[in-house]
Amino acid sequence: MLDRSSNAPDLPPEIARRRTFAIISHPDAGKTTLTEKFLLYGGAIQMAGQVRAKGEARRTRSDFMKMEQDRGISVSASAMSFDFGAHRFNLVDTPGHSDFSEDTYRTLTAVDAAIMVIDGAKGVESQTQKLFEVCRLRDLPILTFCNKMDRESRDTFDIIDEIQENLAIDVTPASWPIGMGRDFLGCYDLLRDRLELMDRADRNKIAESIRIDGLDDPKLAEHIPEAQLEQLKEEIEMARELLPTLDPQAVLDGTMTPIWFGSAINSFGVKELMDGIATYGPEPQPQSAEPRQIAPDEKKVAGFVFKVQANMDPKHRDRVAFLRMASGHFKRGMKLTHVRSKKPMAISNPVLFLASDRELAEEAWAGDIIGIPNHGQLRIGDTLTEGEALRVTGIPSFAPELLQGVRAGDPMKAKHLEKALMQFAEEGAAKVFKPMIGSGFIVGVVGALQFEVLASRIELEYGLPVRFEPSQFTSARWVHGPKAEVDKFTNVNKGHIATDNDGDTVYLTRLQWDIDRVERDYPELKLSATKEMM
C-alpha cells in the first residue's frame, strides 16, 4: 500500500502544480471531444503524434491521424501537456478502441487520477466498468463527467444511483443539471454557488457564469423559467439530503467521486471539471518500487517506461519510450542509469508533448511524461535513475487470453516475421512465444481485435502479409521456481513449453485441469498468469 499522505503538503511548487491523469470511458461517450476542449482551454498544444525522433522528417498531426484512421483504431497512447491557470495538466490518452488491451492497464500505472466520462443517456457501460475496476486496483482517485446533457438523458438521481451501485463508490454532485435535452439550460454549481448557462449558439464559448447567493436568490428567476426553477430547487434539496457532501480526502482515497454534468461538444461544464481536477485532483504521488518507494520530491531523478511506441514513422525503426517521471527535476542532457542493464544513458533528445514551439523537453518534473527516442534499449517496465538500483513495480504483463499461430504468407520471410513479432512484443502489443518443439510462433493477445491490428501493422510496417491460424493452446502461464525443478518439468513437457520474448519459460495448455495438475505434481513450481515487466 502506498503512503499517499507522505507527499501531501510540502511538495515543491513545480511538482505540486502538476496533475497527471487519464480519461476512461466507453467508446462514443465523448472522450475525444472532451480532450479537444481541454486543449482548447489549455492553449494550443502538440500531441504525441507529432513526436519527432532525431533525424526524422517532421510528421504533422494530420499524418498521424491518417495513420490511425487507416488502421481503424487509435494505436498510440498520446501524452499531452498543457497549462490551466496555475496548473500543469498531463493527460495520458488511453487507447481508443473498444477491445481490451494491456496498454490500457499500463497507461493507468502512469497516472495519478482518472476522469470517468459517461454518456448521460447510457450511464455506466461495459468498458467504463472494466476500466473503473483497474483504477480501483490502484485506488486511483476518480472524477466523473456526465456528458451529452444537451440530449435526452436519464434522470439525474438514476445516473448517480447507477454509479454508486455498479461501481460501489460514493458519488457527490459537484454540479446539478437544469433540465435536459432541448430544455437543458446549464448547471447549478453546488461547490461555488454559481449558475452556469450554456450557450447553444457558440459551441466553443465558455459558459456564462453568474454568482448566486444560494437557492433563494431572486437572480435565479431571471434566468430560469419558473417550472424548471421549482424542479431544480426540489432536486437540489433532495440531493443535499440524500447524497454525501464532497469530502476531498475521500476523493483522494478513491472512495468518493464528484460528478459534473455537461456537454463536451458545447464546451459546457468542461471548465468546471478542469477546476475540479486542479482543486481536488491529486498531486504527483509516490511510486511503488523495489527495494523502496520513490517520493516525488526526492532530489534525484527517477522515472519508468510505461509505453513503447515503435514505428511512428514506418520508414524508420526508431522507437519512443514514454517515461513517467517519478521524482526529481530532470534536465535535458542528463545522464541516467538504465537500471536493468546498469548502463548509463544520456537523455539528449527527450520530447515533451507541450504547448509552444518547443519540442525538446529542456526540463521535466515528477508527474511529467517525456518521450525518449531510442533504438530498442528501453523496454516497458524499465526504470531510469541517477544511479540507485531502484525498480518500479506494479506494471503488469498479463497472460494472454487468446492464442494463435502465425505464419508469413511467404515462407522465405520467416526471419522478417520474427523481427516484426519481437518488435510488437517489445511494444507490449502482443505476447510472442517460441515453442520448444517445432517451428513458428504463437502469438497471444488479450482481445480478439488485436490479431487484426497486428496483421495489418505487420503488413503496413514490414510489407509482410501474414496469416493467423488456430492454435492447439488456449492458455499461457509463466513458470517460476527453483531452476532444477523448472528443468525437470520442462523436460517432460516439451510439447507444452515455449519461451517468451524475454527468454522466460512459459507453459502452454488448453485446460485449466492441466494447470491444476502441474501445481499438484510440482508443488515447488508456481504457474502465474501475470509477470511483472522487468
C-alpha cell at 217: 436568490
To the question of whether residue 284 is assigned a binding role by annotation, the answer is no
List of residues contacting ligand GDP (CB under 6 A) = 25, 27-33, 147-148, 150-151, 263-266
Give me the count of residues in the chain.
534
To the question of whether residue 337 is assigned a binding role by annotation, the answer is no
CB of 370 to ligand GDP, least distance (A): 25
Reduced 3-state DSSP string for 185-213: CEEEECCCCEEEECCCCCCCCCCEEEECC
To the question of whether residue 147 is assigned a binding role by annotation, the answer is yes
To the question of whether residue 31 is assigned a binding role by annotation, the answer is yes
CB of 36 to ligand GDP, least distance (A): 8
Q: Which is nearer to ligand GDP, 109 or 127 (CB)?
A: 127
What span, in angstroms and rounded, lies between the C-alpha atoms of 309 and 416?
19
Q: Which is nearer to ligand GDP, 250 or 265 (CB)?
A: 265
To the question of whether residue 25 is assigned a binding role by annotation, the answer is yes
What span, in angstroms and rounded, lies between the C-alpha atoms of 261 and 396?
34
259 exposed, middle or buried (CB, 10 Å; 0-12, 13-18, 19+)?
Answer: buried
- Evaluate the CA torsion angle 67, 35, 30, 78 in order and state its sign: positive
Q: Which is nearer to ligand GDP, 155 or 234 (CB)?
A: 155
To the question of whether residue 94 is assigned a binding role by annotation, the answer is yes
Residue with cell 496483421: 455
CB of 424 to ligand GDP, least distance (A): 25
To the question of whether residue 491 is assigned a binding role by annotation, the answer is no
Q: Which stretch of DSSP H or E encloses residue 33?
A: helix 31-41
Q: Which is nearer to ligand GDP, 175 or 266 (CB)?
A: 266
CB of 61 to ligand GDP, least distance (A): 16
CB of 77 to ligand GDP, least distance (A): 14
Is 417:464 a contact under the CB 8 Å cutoff?
yes
Q: Which is nearer to ligand GDP, 30 or 400 (CB)?
A: 30
DSSP 123-173: BS-HHHHHHHHHHHHTT--EEEEEE-TTS----HHHHHHHHHHHH--EEEE
To the question of whether residue 26 is assigned a binding role by annotation, the answer is yes
CB of 116 to ligand GDP, least distance (A): 12
Q: Which is nearer to ligand GDP, 181 or 409 (CB)?
A: 181
Residue 320's DSSP bridge partners are 309, 373
Show binding-site residues: 25-32, 93-97, 147-150
